[in-house]
Amino acid sequence: MKLKVIIHDAEEGGYWAEVPAIEGCATQGDTFEDLLENIYEAIEGCLSVDVASIEVTEKDRVMEIAV
């Protein structure tokens, strides 16, 4: 899966980024390298779901797939 990320210069220095395809998914970093690391963490956090809060029966399967 490929996602577009919009990177902005932050007024106070550093950078901030948003992922338009995922509502509310944004992060920041003091350096561009920090920002790149934080983007991956932000996307993972925005897409993660706590399966424990979902009712799963014996007939159901929980799978993790890479996209």
- Has this prediction a pTM greater than 0.85? no
The DSSP output letter for 29 is E
Q: Provide the 8-state DSSP code for 45.
A: H
Q: What is the pLDDT of residue 43?
A: 93
Specify the pLDDT at position 16.
97
Task: For residue 26, give both structure tokens.
Answer: 């944004």
- CB of 4 within 8 A of CB of 22? no
Per-residue model confidence as pLDDT tens for the chain (67 residues):
789 999 999 999 999 999 999 999 999 999 999 999 999 999 999 988 676 778 888 998 877 776 5
